[in-house]
Amino acid sequence: DVQLQASGGGSVPAGGSLRLSCVGSGYSFRDKTIAWFRQAPGRAREDVSAIDESDGRIYYADSVKGRATISVDNIENTVYLQMTDLKPEDTAVYYCAAARLELPALVATHSGDLWGRGTLVTVSS
């Protein structure tokens, strides 16, 4: 089956760190844009970060800039989102998505070709 599998979420105290993983099964990240989105309870889904594998462009939302690092490992076919100094407002379900789109388009439209099922991040104060 072609799918994305997101993992790495958990419960951490404020100030903690997590590394989220998005593994492509039967799906290559070559020349794709891969993004992380999140959705907190009662709130709309928002973009977090994205990477264009073809040219290395990277995007971070202002809310995570300086605290998040996105990277892609083409050997492992995995995209990572390392998050540090986590805050309670980072609590959300995090989803990865991939598409044959320019990075700005995927971030703006959330039009992923393929979506992972989400991994829950809970940050306690």
Residues with Cβ within 8 Å of residue 66, at least 6 apart in sequence: none
123, 106, 103, 97 alpha-carbon torsion, rounded to 10°: 50
H helix or E strand, kind and range, residue 109: helix 103-109
| β-pairing verdict for 3-7 and 10-13 | unpaired
Q: Mean per-residue pLDDT for 78-88?
A: 98
**pLDDT tens string 16-59:** 999 999 999 999 999 999 999 999 999 999 999 999 999 999 99
Residue 37 identity (one-letter amino acid): F
